[in-house]
A and B are shown apart, each in its own frame.
Chain A
Amino acid sequence: MPPKLCTNLVLILLAASVAAARRHPSPANSTASGKPVYLWPLPKKFTSGSRTLLVDPDLALHPNGPGGRAAAVAEAFERYRSLIFSSWAHAARNASGGYDIAELTVVVASADEKMELGVDESYTIYVAAAGGVNSIVGGATIEANTIYGAIRGLETFSQLCVFNYDTKNVEVLHAPWYIQDEPRFAFRGLLLDTSRHFLPVDVIKQVIDSMSYSKLNVLHWHIIDEQSFPLEVPSYPNLWKGSYSKWERYTVEDAHDIVSYARKRGVHVMAEIDVPGHAESWGNGYPKLWPSPKCREPLDVSSNYTFEVISGILSDMRKIFPFGLFHLGGDEVYTGCWNVTPHVRQWLDEHNMTTKDAYKYFVLKAQEIAIKLNWIPVNWEETFNSFKENLNPLTVVHNWLGPGVCPKVVEKGFRCIMSNQGVWYLDHLDVPWEDFYTSEPLAGINNTAQQKLVLGGEVCMWGETADTSDVQQTIWPRAAAAAERMWSQLEAISAQDLETTILARLHYFRCLLNHRGIAAAPVTNAYGRRPPTGPGSCFIQ
């Protein structure tokens, strides 16, 4: 059967069963075999059948190919096996026959473990019974070019496995499966803000785990801002005196730990040092960085010392953050303090600069430091809006102010990341999941060469009003909606219906997140992170 027809049939099946799911599910309709299988985000191509296969709780990894034996693959397999088989309690041994799937073969073509933006994340999954139609061998296979593709494949495979409450076995329904998948955009980000509220390392790790469940792959770590400076900087050890308290800090080793944890899950960490605005906290340890004790932002542009400190920070960070992109901020720069502080005013006059010139000077000078350290600078869009002609051509422009920015950015030949605050700011609780889902990074860009300059997008979890107690339910499930927009193919997601098929799948994914210990909020509340309004099933709230 042609794949497309199969896909459509599966979608029809989903649509039909969703109608049932949206009502209070009937208890009589409680058999495993009728249930549809929901995958999130939607893979590029997939076909399925009608058989049910049993999965062995002692599922073994059979690595293959030059990259199959990588430690990261074995570790990822162990993690996913735990997720699929939540302890001995769930899966009883199948006394009679054997298991259809006792082995998961993972074939990785390349042994190269370099993880850069744009690394090949494609994978293929085959699941079939031995001797069945469309299969040569029984069991399950994941094939990928890189270990990161294999990790993405493991996530999808884990979503194929469901627990049968009657037989107490884990099963793959609707086999045989053939899935071929790869992301639409290479940059699928989530911003986490640890300045407005300190987030313990363990919480950051949980966020990274949850990202990997929806295939988000860049953690944009907005480490520092006005309110606090929590990270250790060995070159300038007083900087973290700007932390909220002596316990709300990250050591250099903690940062390494986070990067390494993320890497194992195929997640890049893009660090941000926002300059020259949003930097008041720097002066707690080094008051010279403030224009004056009474006027503390932006950083003092007139002083070489400022750039020495930036250089020290970046050098220290180069040893921690291997990702090719580094974010230098540059947003919301209110230059009033430069004007009113005498020595800065004098410096501006001497250099024949307006404050706007000085802003440009600051950003470009910081960019040079990053570029010398072999980084590609990312800057918030005000830098582009204010002085695009002078912006370093390597710059990736990060849109946030509103819609319609990336088209202008790519027209000028710059790369772009979309985070339009009207639709992708998670701290905007009034933005519903539908808006997260339907926002299109390529909106208004028709030229294919220019489309390629859009690296992807990012949802932003600003921390002013979110802390450890509620950050995860503010992020999820709305971030998942955007995650599918960034991963899945445009045609496939446009073909689905928001309020039936997509909603059912998102409901299912939200409940899956809860099962995996991620505090994803109810889907259908009017506002983000609100509690459920009354008793009810996870699948309809």
Chain B
Amino acid sequence: MAQVLTVRLLLAFLAIGSCIAVEVTEHIDLWPMPKSVSHGTQRLYVSKDITMSMQGSMYSDEKEILKDAFQRVVDLMKLNHVVDGANPSSSVLTGVNIVVHSLEDELNFGVDESYNLSVPTVGDPLHAQIEVSNLTANSSSLQTFSQLCYFDFTSRLIELISAPWKISDTPRFPYRGLLIDTSRHYLPITEIKKMIDTMTYSKLNVLHWHIVDAQAFPIEIPSYPKLWNGSYSYSERYTMSDAIDIVRYAEKRGVNVLAEIDVPGHALSWGAGYPSLWPSDSCKEPLDVSNNFSFGVIDGILSDFSKVFKFKFVHLGGDEVNTSCWTATPHIKKWLDDNHMNVSDAYRYFVLRSQKIAISHGYDVINWEETFNNFGDKLDRRTVVHNWLREDVAPKVVAAGLRCIVSNQDKWYLDHLDATWEEFYRNEPLKDIDNPDHQRLVIGGEVCMFGEQIDASDIEQTIWPRAAAAAGN
């Protein structure tokens, strides 16, 4: 009886053992998948006191940006279990050495985000090595490192399996965005910060903050302090300090914040504080094109933004402009006639004049695709066209020599609940673009979480996991 039992146990052991071996070699559970990955079959233990070093770095980390980022990743690895197994005597990864070649300590867009990550199995002490050209890339490399680590229920330690690893990675596109909409529903700052954190897990790097729209104007504009009277309520607001806080929070995590003020449409809420921005009391959109005050306010907003939003781009919207209130309002109709403009001319005039204001404050402009579709040849040459309507627009944009961001709504709008993760995954920004020069003009893509039907209670599960599928692309 005992012999049979032993044989059975042995067979069971072998079966289980081979199952584990199969798990180890077959699965590479990294998301997004790095450009090139090779690994082995060995198990390492991550020291409970794993440290970071910067031997060989040009960068000195005086502001402790790297140190904080490393600590956050360590905390994340330890988040859901008490790590209190006995310290092993060998195969312990004691540190991560991060080599940053550039002295720059600021977040930069469009720089080399490639990294090399290696985890050896020989060496004493044993440490992982990360190499990046600049600080901006470190966030991605640390995220990948964290995904190699698992809590093991037997050893009660964090383990790094399938070592040694050699990973070499670089993003396909420099612009990998997520749009959030704080006008249709106010999102508390805690929620926005959570979005920033979760973006980094899948290496998204631009938070497109669609701050204001028709329904509510929640942000403080010191130059025009009554604008935020258009907020839903007294407390559904962001102060300038809140905005600075969010930008800093994002910066530390390698996330750029793209602010948007959508003009001239989608701007009804502006008139709550300044009714003269409305064509009339009964016709409140788009902003009054005939009134210089409209552009004064836009200038004030962008001036205030320039002190807070340091990303080189600002988004000026320009989508879904229904011009009927211009023709229906007498003083505007007169202005159009006086200036020999029809409404299309006026729409173009509004967008171009707004662009000039943004450029005067040091920004490059992003506009929604209708501006390109209607007067693409008149747009400032540095304009980035943000596609959203259909999937055949990007090729035309880049053929015209302009940069493009892809967000075709049939596949990459998160509020379209019927778009599946497979569709998010397979959506290809370079579809039908074969010329390499044109391909370079597609700076990336963005998934959009418009807020009409989501709020703080359910935004996270509407964004994830489908946004990760797009990020994986």
A532 and B185 form a contact (CB under 8 A): yes
Residues 289-301 of chain B: 1 if any A CB is under 8 Å from the residue's CB, otherwise 0? Answer: 0000000000000
In the bound complex, residues from chain B placing their C-beta under 8 Å from that of A253 are 81-82, 84, 156
Tell me the bound Cα distance from A536 to B215 in angstroms: 8
Partner of A522, one of B151, B190, B191, B455: B455
Tell me the bound Cα distance from A520 to B455 in angstroms: 10
A519 and B457 form a contact (CB under 8 A): yes
B272 and A27 form a contact (CB under 8 A): yes
- Minimum distance in angstroms from B427 CB to a CB of chain A: 23
Residues in A162-181 with C-beta less than 8 Å from chain B: 162-163, 165, 168
Residues 22-66 of chain A: 1 if any B CB is under 8 Å from the residue's CB, otherwise 0? Answer: 001101111110010000000000000000000000000000000
B457 and A520 form a contact (CB under 8 A): yes
Tell me the bound Cα distance from A519 to B458 in angstroms: 7
In the bound complex, residues from chain A placing their C-beta under 8 Å from that of B233 are 25, 30, 537-539
Q: Is A473 an interface residue (CB 8 A)?
A: yes
Q: By the criterion of a CB under 8 Å from any partner CB, how many residues of chain B are at the interface?
A: 49
Q: Is A343 an interface residue (CB 8 A)?
A: no
Q: Is A131 an interface residue (CB 8 A)?
A: no
Tell me the bound Cα distance from A89 to B236 in angstroms: 16
In the bound complex, residues from chain A placing their C-beta under 8 Å from that of B183 are 535
Residues in B223-275 with C-beta less than 8 Å from chain A: 228-237, 239, 241-242, 244-245, 272-273
Tell me the bound Cα distance from A541 to B216 in angstroms: 15
Tell me the bound Cα distance from A90 to B242 in angstroms: 6
Residues in B167-205 with C-beta less than 8 Å from chain A: 183-186, 188-191, 194
- Look across to chain A and name the residue whose beta carbon is closest to the beta carbon of B237: A165
Q: Is A533 an interface residue (CB 8 A)?
A: yes
- Having A87-B245, A201-B79, one finds 7 other A-B pairs with CB under 8 Å, namely A168-B239, A200-B79, A251-B81, A251-B82, A253-B82, A254-B82, A536-B232
In the bound complex, residues from chain A placing their C-beta under 8 Å from that of B215 are 535-536
B190 and A532 form a contact (CB under 8 A): no
Partner of B81, one of A201, A511, A538: A201
Q: Is A134 an interface residue (CB 8 A)?
A: no
- With A473-B457, A511-B235, A517-B191 as known contacts, state yes or no: A535 contacts B245, CB within 8 Å: no
- With A27-B273, A251-B81, A253-B156 as known contacts, state yes or no: A534 contacts B241, CB within 8 Å: no
Partner of B232, one of A163, A522, A531, A537: A537
A25 and B234 form a contact (CB under 8 A): yes
Q: Is B3 an interface residue (CB 8 A)?
A: no
Partner of B461, one of A232, A470, A522: A470
In the bound complex, residues from chain B placing their C-beta under 8 Å from that of A79 are none
A165 and B235 form a contact (CB under 8 A): yes
Residues 442-473 of chain B: 1 if any A CB is under 8 Å from the residue's CB, otherwise 0? Answer: 00000000011111111011100000000000
B153 and A249 form a contact (CB under 8 A): yes
- Minimum distance in angstroms from A200 CB to a CB of chain B: 5
Q: Is B80 an interface residue (CB 8 A)?
A: yes
B241 and A539 form a contact (CB under 8 A): no
Q: List 21 A-B contacts (CB under 8 A).
A: A25-B232, A25-B234, A28-B229, A86-B190, A90-B241, A162-B235, A165-B237, A200-B80, A202-B80, A246-B153, A253-B81, A253-B82, A253-B156, A254-B82, A517-B194, A521-B457, A532-B185, A536-B215, A538-B186, A538-B456, A539-B236
Tell me the bound Cα distance from A521 to B241 in angstroms: 28
In the bound complex, residues from chain A placing their C-beta under 8 Å from that of B456 are 514, 519-520, 538
Residues 407-446 of chain A: 1 if any B CB is under 8 Å from the residue's CB, otherwise 0? Answer: 0000000000000000000000000000000000000000
Q: Is A340 an interface residue (CB 8 A)?
A: no
Partner of B235, one of A163, A257, A470, A522: A163
- Look across to chain B and name the residue whose beta carbon is closest to the beta carbon of A470: B461
A residues sitting closer than 8 Å to B (CB atoms) are: 24-25, 27-32, 35, 86-90, 92, 162-163, 165, 168, 200-202, 232, 246-247, 249, 251, 253-254, 256-257, 469-470, 472-473, 511, 514-517, 519-522, 529, 531-539, 541
In the bound complex, residues from chain A placing their C-beta under 8 Å from that of B244 are 89
In the bound complex, residues from chain A placing their C-beta under 8 Å from that of B153 are 232, 246, 249, 251
Tell me the bound Cα distance from A247 to B454 in angstroms: 31
Tell me the bound Cα distance from A536 to B231 in angstroms: 10
In the bound complex, residues from chain A placing their C-beta under 8 Å from that of B453 are 531-534
Tell me the bound Cα distance from A469 to B229 in angstroms: 34
- Look across to chain B and name the residue whose beta carbon is closest to the beta carbon of A474: B457
- Minimum distance in angstroms from B380 CB to a CB of chain A: 32
Which 6 residue pairs of A and B lie closest in terms of their CB atoms, listed nearest first?
A537-B232, A253-B82, A89-B245, A535-B184, A27-B229, A89-B241
In the bound complex, residues from chain B placing their C-beta under 8 Å from that of A514 are 188, 191, 455-457
- With A249-B153, A251-B153, A538-B236 as known contacts, state yes or no: A521 contacts B458, CB within 8 Å: yes
- Minimum distance in angstroms from A81 CB to a CB of chain B: 16
- Look across to chain B and name the residue whose beta carbon is closest to the beta carbon of A476: B457
Tell me the bound Cα distance from A257 to B81 in angstroms: 9
- Look across to chain B and name the residue whose beta carbon is closest to the beta carbon of A469: B461
- Look across to chain B and name the residue whose beta carbon is closest to the beta carbon of A162: B235
In the bound complex, residues from chain B placing their C-beta under 8 Å from that of A35 are 234
- Look across to chain A and name the residue whose beta carbon is closest to the beta carbon of B23: A246
In the bound complex, residues from chain B placing their C-beta under 8 Å from that of A539 are 232-233, 236
Tell me the bound Cα distance from A283 to B247 in angstroms: 53
- Look across to chain B and name the residue whose beta carbon is closest to the beta carbon of A87: B245
In the bound complex, residues from chain B placing their C-beta under 8 Å from that of A28 are 229
In the bound complex, residues from chain B placing their C-beta under 8 Å from that of A246 are 153
Tell me the bound Cα distance from A529 to B454 in angstroms: 11
- Look across to chain B and name the residue whose beta carbon is closest to the beta carbon of A519: B457
In the bound complex, residues from chain B placing their C-beta under 8 Å from that of A519 are 456-458, 460
- Look across to chain A and name the residue whose beta carbon is closest to the beta carbon of B190: A517
- Look across to chain A and name the residue whose beta carbon is closest to the beta carbon of B272: A27
- Look across to chain A and name the residue whose beta carbon is closest to the beta carbon of B462: A531
Tell me the bound Cα distance from A25 to B237 in angstroms: 14
A92 and B185 form a contact (CB under 8 A): no
- Minimum distance in angstroms from A362 CB to a CB of chain B: 31
B229 and A30 form a contact (CB under 8 A): yes
In the bound complex, residues from chain A placing their C-beta under 8 Å from that of B272 are 27
B232 and A515 form a contact (CB under 8 A): no
Residues 78-121 of chain B: 1 if any A CB is under 8 Å from the residue's CB, otherwise 0? Answer: 01111010000000000000000000000000000000000000
